[in-house]
Chains A and B, each alone.
Chain A
Amino acid sequence: MTSNIAGDVTDIDPISLEIQWQRLVAIADEIDTAVIRTSFSTIVGESHDFGCAIMDASGAGLTQAQWSPPQFCTMLPRTTRDMLKKFPAAALEEGDVLATNDPWIGSTHLPDYNLVSPVFHKGKLVAFLGTVAHVSDVGGHLGDLEASDMFMEGTRLMPNKFYARGQVVPIVEEFIAANCRVPEMVLGDLHAIVGTHRIGIKRIQEFLDDYRLDDIESLSHAIQGRSERALREAIAALPDGVSEYEITADGYLEPFTLRIRLEIRGSDLYMDFAGSSPQQWHSAINAAFNISYSTAVYPIKCMLAAHIPNNDGLVRPLHITAPEGSIVNCTFPAPVKARAKVIKHIPPLIFGALADLLPDEVIAAAGGIFPFHIVGQDARYGRFAVHMLPHGGLGATQDADGLLPAAYPHNSTVTPTEIIEKQCPIVMTRKAMLTDSGGAGKRRGGPGQEIALRHIGREPIMLTIRPDLMKYPAPGLHGGDAGALGDVFFEGVRLERFVPIQWQPGEEVVLRVPGGGGYGDPLERERADVQADVTSGLVSLEAARDIYGLDVRFDPEELQLEAIRACVENRFAD
């Protein structure tokens, strides 16, 4: 190891450190699993829209559950430290649980509730457990995109004790319950999370007992020091220099532009968003800084420190700034509910800025996600609030085609069709990959998908959809084409505005979630790969000819049959 790199390595030996660190990761994982198993909402239980992290007594991030979305776990320590300003360590007692959904303190939109529990050991505060989860409802209008300030979007709980000394604080519980549409579900999730914290606290105490530790200070120091040092070494190995990149995206009522200036200087990496569009007061796509910051950390970690469990040591070499009042650092009380529309463009922005320097580490832009939300009441189904997060295709990389529809850069699962249809009166009539939706390239972008839904109930229900990439597609890299645009049709009419829809029985909605960007010149794509795409139906004959330059003097029907024979023979060699 080079000695001119900052980052402390303390005297804790590498074997004890490995063992104790892994133990903390295992504790975070156990909490994560327990959250899924005890949750009430589909958005937590099925979509995995939550994160768990362990922090030290100062609120510095030590580890996260391996499956938790990366942004949540970079934000949680920041949120915790902000909450500690109001409730300093001395004001906390065993069994307390702090809660907030404030967008500027927490994870930047109201549905995300942050719960943080202090962990005491032998009377001393030694750590914090934090969980952030997207709850099913926080009141406010049912819309997603159109709002003129945050107050329209629901109710805000400033940092407060949700539990005090192990007992729920009635006024806080009542406040939450009284201001949302599905109180049992929301409180069910929040109380379940408190239950998982109890498990986690016990585990941390057992851990300290096992190693006869009074606290985790030196462990925390070692974890962060080693991680920082490893990341600094990776940065220092890159040449110093400056790179800039920009992406223009749909926004909602008007497009916006994100700009980044990325500078590598020694073992530090600077990312500045100056020149990005200003915040908007007519649509709820603004991102408060916490989420922009944590989303900017993600691509760097993927490229330079993929195998190091997330902790705050990994953010120390990164210097991220954004002008106040910009769309990536909006000010109170800008509307923020659909900030995903902006922040999903941050990873491709950063990968774009590093595409020349690290061509084999970057990934083209992804098709993203079209969340939809169904709320209503029906004699046979009762009251329901169902979320579904269908994803678009991923971007291509230097060595591989983009993956099929999948969560990115967050991590979530799509709610099964059968679960949705058990809960509310709809029938999904199609959920299929879309032909020609992955951006063409030497490596093709991942295909997007089409989802069609029909209302089979007897009462109108409220449908909220938040599409993206309907005007500006997911860009490719190094000569790869952009993915196909997204679309939403309601009874055959293409929608432009996304206020909540009164969905009448019998009506049909079609979502086309976009594909990912391609990588490299499509003309350089292996001919066999193009032909395989044609026969499997992911690329049309026309696109194969016009974009990939494939010689298509063949009968498509015959080709299809031949392909079936070939695919059977190749795949099932006896």
Chain B
Amino acid sequence: MPAQLNLSSAELAFSLSSTSRRGRYRLGFDIGGTFTDFVLIETDSGQITSYKTLTTPQDPSKAVIAGLQELLRNAQAAGDDIETAIHGTTLITNALIERKGAKTALITTKGFRDILEMAKEMRYDIYDLLMVLPEPLVPRLLRYEVAERVDGRGRVVEPLAVADLVALKPHLEESDIDAVAVCFLHSFTNPEHEQQAVAWLKNELPGVSVSVSSEVAPEIREYERMSTTVCNAYVQPLTERYLTRLQRDLVDSGFRKQLYLMLSSGGITTVETAAQFPVRLIESGPAAGVLAAVFYGEKTGVSNLVSFDMGGTTAKMCVIKDGRPIMSDDFEVARVHRFKRGSGLPVRVPTIELIEIGAGGGSIARVDELGLLKIGPESASADPGPACYGQGGVQPTVTDADLLLGYLNPEYFLGGRMSLGRAAAERAVQSKLAEPLGMSLIEAAYGIYQVVNQNMISATRVHVAERGADPRKFTLIAFGGAGPVHAHQIARELKMQGYICPAGAGVASALGFLTAPVAFEFARTHIAHLTQEKLEDLDVIYAELEREGRARLAEAGVPEEQMSFVRKADLRHIGQGHEIVVELPFDQLADVALDDVLRPLFYSEYEQIYGYAHRHLGVEITTCRLTASGLRPQINLEKAETATESLSAAQAIKGERPVYFRELGGFVDTPVYDRYQLRAGMNFAGPAIVEERDSTAVIGPDADVHVDIYTNLLVTLKYE
């Protein structure tokens, strides 16, 4: 470890500010399971400095402070030159997965403590008789009941029995509980009893943190709301401790401005709100990645995107329509089977909707009982890794196939920091696949490439279609080490317009942190048939939500004139079981003609997704939603040197190697471009390979590549 780490915080702050050259900066940092990543941008010049260090799981802020110091040194900046810091973390997700949260109790309506465990009474795999269910975060013994009841219309049927709470007190004290989740039936309609219980708890058990369902997730469906509230309670004490510590350490490092936390919804929030609702931070890392895609989309003038991030174990896809990522509040954390829907704990908070597929560089290929080639979700991950890593892996993986097909350069993997063993890859593919399947080595390798691509294509196709979009109008944007290797075929088979490989894909996704606005999502269940007269009621609810939003934004320091509010509603045909989210671009709904404007708006959105609307049926609202946000920060990117007329892309070619393209009948000698020699304005055509340190872009035939002003590769696909 560098000696500077031993400096006391005060000395550190001093040493940082003394070397400053007084720029203005925004800082983003993300604590992942393995690495803590930093990105610092100089606001005016757009100059980016990034840094990566190992995460320190015992005390995560240790890596933050050490890394920050290194980063600032590299950028020649000081802690107090940073105007804003935005933070994302997987600590909360990890606490849920590894079951390292607080000692949590649940207090619920009498007769319903088992809801948390009985869940939806559904099996996530119909044919697996040995199916394992996720264990509830709160065991039965710590799930307490109190007499109280509100009916389906929000009326109190039975008042809250405070005596029941009093009787619980010794139990809660005896078991040394850190956190309590409170979830009563119908509290999303009438939160009175929950509020009473919370008031009592705060008074009687002042040291215990309390999460309440009507604040954490005020939506109908008791199991999902209870689960969300319990997850929140479970991670609240550790989040609070962690954030307090982090903030103190940052102050000690010279940073005294506002620290923001990235939310799963792609907004950012204050430390106080984050500590209150940590469950909203669960997907902060992936959300930042999507925001980076949005940002690159803006810089390259593309607003309909599918972001595609392929790493070692998984691929993540997100649909971005009109510059906005698709949102969902249907999310699961800590799945027993990572890729099986229904095997995790539901968390109902606004989340950028990502699909995750068990398809990464390390995904293992095998022959199944039907004699078919299957890939993943099992992964050789980093240890032992793909066979070609030469670390003892004997199973053929996607990376092995990519190597055999000439997509990867064995001598320039991770910029040459690691060399790949072709012989080991050959052995694995030959013995485990080619022989049992009765095909040649290269056929088997290409089989891996095709099947893994099709797994991603298939999932993306369904996902895009279910959101009422047409992939032909979209552009893929590839991140991650393996993303640009596989982007071409995915984009082509989905008949997309093309794909983008951003410059420095390794840092790219961290940029998302710097582009997030302060934003809060609010939702309130309100079930009613829409009538012209009742539209006024909605205005009242939206006004309330807006008031809340305004207050939250103000707390976070957003000036009034920068606030904006978007109203959305969950709407359905009367009598229907599920809703679609429709944006309502109206200031006063009461002034909007229901039959001429509002209903047709719903029907046409519905038709776009499902092809058929029941126009004779009325419309029902179930949830009012509001997004309150501040301005999106504008960041500049450093512009690259523009190629002069005389400089052709050929000058960036550093060599040539045989690369396999099925469309061209097999291996063809393909030029290899050095990404660092490419200049803005250069154009070339596929097939081509573009190598950079952290990734390789494989450009197939019938594609034109343009290098833009930021040295992003913009690839246009040509179709017959």
Contacts and interface: CB of A to CB of B under 8 A. Distances in A.
Which of A15, A21, A30: most chain B CB closer than 10 A? A15
Contact of A230 (B128, B185, B369, B374): B369
A244 B74 CA distance: 78
B370 A30 contact: no
Contacts of B577: 36, 39-42, 44-46
B600 interface: no
A212 interface: no
A418 B439 CA distance: 57
Given A14-B437, A564-B141, A418 B111 contact: no
Interface in A387-423: 389-391, 397, 399-400, 403-408, 411-414, 416-423
A573 B139 CA distance: 14
A431 B111 contact: yes
Nearest to A23: B458
Contacts of B133: 403-404
Nearest to B188: A418
Interface stretch (A269-277, A302-310, A331-339, A545-553): A302-310
A412 B122 contact: yes
A406 B654 CA distance: 61
Contacts of B611: 195, 198-199
Contacts of A45: 576-578
A87 interface: no
Given A411-B122, A536-B141, A427 B221 contact: no
Nearest to B458: A26
B129 A302 contact: yes
A572 interface: yes
Interface string B117-144: 1111111001111111100000111100
B326 to A, nearest CB: 14
B663 interface: no
Interface in B176-194: 176-177, 185-186
Contact of B121 (A301, A391, A452): A391
A224 B100 CA distance: 47
Nearest to B577: A45
A39 B614 CA distance: 12
A40 B175 contact: no
B186 A421 contact: yes
Interface residues of B, number: 82
A322 B207 CA distance: 67
B178 to A, nearest CB: 8
A427 B458 contact: no
B140 A537 contact: yes
Interface stretch (A170-178, A183-191, A494-502): A183-191
A48 interface: yes
A399 B130 contact: yes
Given A19-B454, A38-B576, A432 B114 contact: yes
B121 A406 contact: yes
Contacts of A375: none
A16 to B, nearest CB: 9
A302 B129 CA distance: 7
Given A15-B450, A226-B370, A429-B111, A33 B466 contact: yes
Contacts of A564: 141-142, 171, 174-175
Interface string A38-75: 11111011101000000000000000001101100000
Nearest to A233: B369
Which of B120, B131, B185, B370: most chain A CB closer than 10 A? B370
A188 B576 contact: yes
A254 interface: no
Contacts of B527: 422
B221 A380 contact: no
Contact of B130 (A184, A397, A427): A397
Nearest to B225: A418
A555 interface: no
Given A418-B186, A419-B220, A563-B141, A404 B152 contact: no
Contacts of A34: 466, 610
B115 interface: yes
A429 B577 CA distance: 24
Judged by DSSP, the binding face of B is loop
Nearest to B101: A572
A419 B113 CA distance: 18
Which of A30, A34, A408, A417: most chain B CB closer than 10 A? A417
B371 interface: yes
Given A39-B576, A406-B123, A400 B221 contact: no
Contact of B372 (A17, A405, A431): A17
Contacts of A192: 610, 612
Contacts of A408: 123
Given A38-B576, A537-B140, A191 B612 contact: yes
A114 interface: no
Interface in A104-150: none
Nearest to B127: A306
Interface in B189-233: 220-223
Given A306-B127, A421-B152, A432 B111 contact: yes
Interface string B62-90: 00000000000000000000000000000
Contacts of B348: none
A417 B185 contact: yes
A568 B149 CA distance: 29
B578 A48 contact: no
B221 to A, nearest CB: 5
Interface in A424-478: 424-425, 427-433, 449, 452, 456
Contacts of A357: none
Contact of A400 (B130, B153, B369): B130
Contact of B114 (A15, A198, A431): A431
A308 B465 contact: no
B151 A427 contact: yes
Contact of B99 (A23, A407, A571): A571
Which of B99, B372, B466, B575: most chain A CB closer than 10 A? B372
B578 A417 contact: no
Interface string B160-182: 00000000000100111100000
Interface string B465-477: 1100000000000
B132 to A, nearest CB: 8
A213 interface: no
Given A416-B223, A537-B140, A574-B100, A185 B465 contact: no
A9 interface: yes
Contact of B141 (A29, A40, A423, A567): A567
B596 interface: no
B591 interface: no
A184 B529 CA distance: 15
Interface string A343-374: 00000000000000000010100000000000
A18 interface: yes
B118 A449 contact: yes
Contacts of B112: 417, 430-432
A421 B222 CA distance: 11
A2 to B, nearest CB: 12
B336 to A, nearest CB: 12
B459 A26 contact: yes
Interface string A67-107: 10110000000000000000000000000000000000000
A37 interface: yes
A462 B450 CA distance: 57
B466 A404 contact: no
12 contacts: A14-B437, A38-B612, A188-B617, A307-B127, A416-B220, A422-B152, A423-B152, A430-B111, A431-B118, A564-B175, A568-B175, A571-B139
Given A18-B374, A22-B458, A34-B466, 4 more contacts: A38-B610, A195-B610, A421-B151, A564-B171
Interface of B: 99-104, 110-115, 117-123, 126-133, 139-142, 149, 151-153, 157, 171, 174-177, 185-186, 220-223, 367-374, 437, 439, 443, 447, 450-451, 454-455, 458-459, 461-462, 465-466, 493, 527, 573, 575-578, 580, 610-612, 614, 617
